[in-house]
Structure 1
Amino acid sequence: MSDGVRDEILDLIRRDGPITFDRFQELCLYSKNGFYSSRTRPIGTTFHTAPTTHHAFGELIAKQLDEMWRLMDEPPIFHAVEVGSGDGALARSIMHACVTRFPRFAQALRYVASDYAPVWPDESLYLEDLDALQPSTPIQRVRAEGISAFRSVHGCILSNELLDNFTVHRFEMQNGQPREIFVTAGPDGFVEVLAEPSTPRITERLAGVALPDGQHGEVSLAIEGWTDRVAKVLERGFVLTIDYGQLASDLYSAKNPNGTLRCFKDHIHSNDWYEHIGEQDITSDVDFSALMMAGERRGLASVGYSTQGDFLTHLGFDDLIEELHNSGLSAARTSLREAAMMALVDEEEMGDFKVLVQSKGMPAGIQLSGFAPK
């Protein structure tokens, strides 16, 4: 446990009283000694992501970016701004694919990898396979807390497993109404207490949602601010969001009686967010309905929404499997790489992650191959 973060939270509670879970999570993840702000190891040492599982993920995202560039009439400069780039795995695999498979697009592509606390392979130990994927086109690396540092993007703002780390307010249903879960201090650690929601925005988000008493859930109000900033920064182009999550009708249902909040530490899943303070990730499913509606209100049109498995399959996942089998590798190595690739589309692994693309300044009814196989 990071005593610095724990003590900071306890001092805040002693001074101001119970705090929202949103504030508790913010301190655990982003305070000076928090999980993300003090990170010194690649993110893959805590949990697996699609880019670190196999570079085929980045290759197929590159194919979709190439199509976006062509739909924008091939501008001489196309910015791909990845927010939450972490260890750079996605950036490196996308750039490698563009240089080798889409050379015309590679000439226009300006890739910006932005992260709150980046840890890159050349600064730390990392996977051998990724070290072999050094792109010949440079990636601009930026240390930034979010998207606000950028201006007038023509291209695509993309993120992979970013929004699930947005802080959330937690609630419990009582007498048909949400009561917010606050965090306070008890004799043996942190204690949860219920009270009226800290902001009417929580109740507004849950309007029309019928849940039984005792049901728990989460509301991320940060989605609104994120979407507002993205809409201001993106001049023309697309927003590509990949994450685990659900539509509101599924997220707030009997399928999730205890909500979707969970923790990860050293690849181990946990439901105890009051342990290992500052040393574990705290995450929850993204409300994609809220994300779409927030975008529509700010001029971001929803182009397509699907599972990651379907999205990658439509972009040519099976062709990459065929390439693997024709690569001349030994049967053992082929089998290992195929297993890693299949994790990207298997609905029991990452295949059930969701993909949302929104657009700004593009023709209505525009279609992308990731959602409409051609």
Structure 2
Amino acid sequence: MEEALAERLRLQGGRMTFADYMELCLYLPEAGYYQRSEPKLGKNGDFYTSAHIGSFMGGCIAASLDAAARRLTPDGGDVAIVEWGGGDGRLAEAVLSELRDVYPETYARVRFLGAEGSPYHRALQRERLRGHEEKIEGIVEPDDDIVERAFRDSTTLIFANELLDAFPVRRLVRARGEWMELYVEGDPAAGTLREAPGPIGDARLAAWLAAHPVRGKEGQRIEVGLAGLEWLSALGRRLRRGFVLLADYGDVSAELYAPHRMTGTLLAYRKHAADEAWFREPGEQDLTAHVNFEWCAAVAGEAGFGEIGVTTQKSFLVEHGILNKLRNHDGADPFSPEARANRAIRQLLLSDGMSELFKVMTMWKGVDAE
């Protein structure tokens, strides 16, 4: 990692964009955070996702995919399901198990593809999904031809949890009434890296800010997730007919760039602790920023998606029947399966948990509006 960062700085005249830095930290082969062969999720990792709080998120996603499959293929034709960036496969297992147990007619006609960039996570997914082996068409890199064929030739249902927040972001600072880009450069005195402002040198970033102006206070820092927006745009070009469900944490511009967010939303996660020390141990901690769903919806519309909706995770879970999963029990044993299940549902729905911060974005492609 140190060699890669030093080489990138050398090639770019001593400074790089924060997006370049973040991409190396997360995705450098073998050394990047998501490429390392060690746990990132759950108790032994650095953070939890909703997939680690029981199987309920997966069950609700399965209900949504079943409804989409029935709408898109009323004749009962085959359907491809693609999970993008599925990590250890826990969410895919919950989705496929719910389809098998609750929606067997849909399960009978689906084939599953895992689009995952990490060799370590692909291996974990293959092992975890052995119980659905007959349904697995492939667990491959996202740019594999088998994924492209599904997008081109099939009715395809795509879901992803905490994917958009992992795309590299650009960092900006408001200085003298203008936005300056924050670059990463070496700090000889400290022997580490630091941020330094400079002019915006990327025409794409300048054009985006011109079309989507952000007002900020002097000294305020913000993130612009161009890479995630470009992924959404490319997805619209690639997908012929289907349904997309993306769950992540984020909000609209008015909240993300509000005056009380003077340092932005970027955080580093390690061992279940979050801070702003993103130059500490590059490659050994997660870096993530909130998703601007207002901008995502605008890009999705331009990319040809229709019926674009964004709702809180709480509303999504309730709409798709999570309250029906609550179980009666006598309360004598707080560690009984029933008590554990109810606590998991409560954690997913409480406003101080994941329910309001997390959003679920859905969109359709190649289907007439009803």
Answer whether TM exceeds 0.5 for this pair: yes
Q: Name the counterpart of 1:217.
A: 222
The offset of 1:74, in angstroms, is 4.7
Deviates more, 1:200-209 or 1:173-182: 200-209
* 8 Å CA contact retained: 1:171, 1:179: yes
Report the TM-score, using the length of structure 2 for normalisation: 0.88
The answer to whether structure 1 residue 6 and structure 2 residue 9 are counterparts is no
1:229 paired residue among 229, 234, 246: 234
1:351 paired residue among 350, 355, 359: 355
For structure 2, list consecutive stretches of 5 or more residues without a partner in the other structure. none
Residue by residue over 1:93-127, the C-alpha shift from the partner in whole angstroms, topping out at 9 and shown as x without a partner, is 11111111001011111121221115469859x9x
1:114/1:145 CA distance change after superposition, 3 Å: closer
* 8 Å CA contact retained: 2:269, 2:287: yes
Separation in structure 2 between the aligned mates of residue 292 and residue 155 of structure 1, nearest angstrom: 20
1:214/1:236 CA distance change after superposition, 3 Å: same
Report the TM-score, using the length of structure 1 for normalisation: 0.87
Separation in structure 2 between the aligned mates of residue 95 and residue 223 of structure 1, nearest angstrom: 26
The offset of 1:42, in angstroms, is 5.3
Q: Name the counterpart of 1:312.
A: 317
The answer to whether structure 1 residue 248 and structure 2 residue 244 are counterparts is no
Separation in structure 2 between the aligned mates of residue 74 and residue 47 of structure 1, nearest angstrom: 42
Q: Give the 3-state SS of the residue equivalent to 1:338 in structure 2.
A: helix
* 8 Å CA contact retained: 1:117, 1:143: no
For structure 1, list consecutive stretches of 5 or more residues without a partner in the other structure. 367-374
Separation in structure 1 between the aligned mates of residue 279 and residue 322 of structure 2, nearest angstrom: 40
Separation in structure 1 between the aligned mates of residue 134 and residue 52 of structure 2, nearest angstrom: 20
Q: Name the counterpart of 1:56.
A: 56
The offset of 1:340, in angstroms, is 1.9
1:277 paired residue among 267, 278, 282: 282
Q: Name the counterpart of 1:143.
A: 140
* 8 Å CA contact retained: 2:116, 2:122: no
The answer to whether structure 1 residue 165 and structure 2 residue 166 are counterparts is yes
Amino acid of the structure 1 residue aligned with 2:320: L
Deviates more, 1:174-183 or 1:295-304: 295-304
Q: How does 1:1-374 map to 2 (within 5 A)?
A: 5-16=1-12, 17-32=14-29, 33-41=31-39, 43-44=41-42, 45-72=45-72, 73-117=74-118, 119=120, 123=124, 134-135=131-132, 138-145=135-142, 149-151=147-149, 152=152, 153-187=154-188, 188=190, 189-206=192-209, 207-321=212-326, 324-325=327-328, 330-333=333-336, 334-352=338-356, 353-364=358-369, 366=370
Separation in structure 2 between the aligned mates of residue 39 and residue 27 of structure 1, nearest angstrom: 16
Number of residue pairs aligned between Structure 1 and Structure 2: 354
Amino acid of the structure 1 residue aligned with 2:237: K
* 8 Å CA contact retained: 1:302, 1:356: no
* 8 Å CA contact retained: 1:64, 1:315: yes
Separation in structure 2 between the aligned mates of residue 221 and residue 280 of structure 1, nearest angstrom: 22
